[in-house]
Amino acid sequence: MIGIGYDVHRFAEGRPLILGGVEIPHSHGLDGHSDADVLCHAIADAILGAMGKADIGYYFPPGDPTCKNISSLKILQKCRELLAEDHLSLVNIDSTLIAEAPKVLPHREAMQKNIGAALGIPPARVGIKATTNETMGFVGRKEGIAAMAVAMVAAK
């Protein structure tokens, strides 16, 4: 079974930039109720979609005070629990970050390690790529970051 996920967050001053559970030096972080880790959110939605479940907003409602500023790696850990409950295993993740800045390649391995650990899969099965939006749209104007992900799950 395959699922697809997409997420986007606008930049915000005074917040750290967290992508794949890694704090990346940048002038702005992302705005959101949790840590606003757009990569983890897209991956979570891809996994939930592959299982035929509701999106992350169902499990982690934006207005829920217990979700305020939580690490999005906890969202991925919840996905891991849901997979186990349904007797499913995660085969792999493929994802793409879309941003004009910052460069994420130097942080890719750390992101793969964090995401793999949260999901219980080897980092080598967590694909992370990055691209720009060629200066077009909100991403091109450096107003935020988008992410897409695909997840494959299988019966145990």
For the segment 62-93, what is each residue's pLDDT rounded down to a tens digit?
A: 888 888 899 999 999 999 999 999 999 999 99
Find the length of the chain.
156
CB contact at 8 A, 67 and 102: no
- Ordered by start, the domain boundaries in the chain are 2-155
Quick check: 146 and 129 in contact, CB under 8 A? no
The pLDDT value given to residue 43: 98
For residues 88 and 47, the answer to whether their CB atoms sit within 8 Å is no
Q: What is the pLDDT of residue 88?
A: 98
Stated pTM of the model: 0.97
3-state secondary structure of 42: helix
The pLDDT tens digits of the residues spanning 125-138 come to 999 999 999 999 99
C-alpha to C-alpha distance for 116 and 101, rounded to whole angstroms: 24
Supply the pLDDT for residue 137.
Answer: 95
The span from the CA of 145 to the CA of 156, in Å, is 35
Q: What is the pLDDT of residue 67?
A: 86
Structure tokens of 68? Answer: 């305020």
Quick one: pLDDT at residue 135?
A: 93
Task: For residue 30, give both structure tokens.
Answer: 């992302």
Q: What pLDDT shows up at residue 156?
A: 86
- Supply the angle between the helices 38-50 and 72-85 in degrees, to the nearest 10: 10
100, two tokens: 């004009």
Q: Which two tokens stand for residue 58?
A: 């169902």
Please choose, from the candidates 62, 17, 61, 60, the residue with its C-alpha nearest in 3D space to the C-alpha of residue 39: 17
Give the span between the Cα atoms of 135 and 146, in whole angstroms.
13
User: H or E segment at 137?
Assistant: helix 137-140
The CATH superfamily holding the domain 2-155 is: 2-C-methyl-D-erythritol 2,4-cyclodiphosphate synthase (3.30.1330.50)
**Count of C-beta atoms within a 10 Å radius of residue 105:** 10
Residues of the chain with pLDDT below 50 are: none
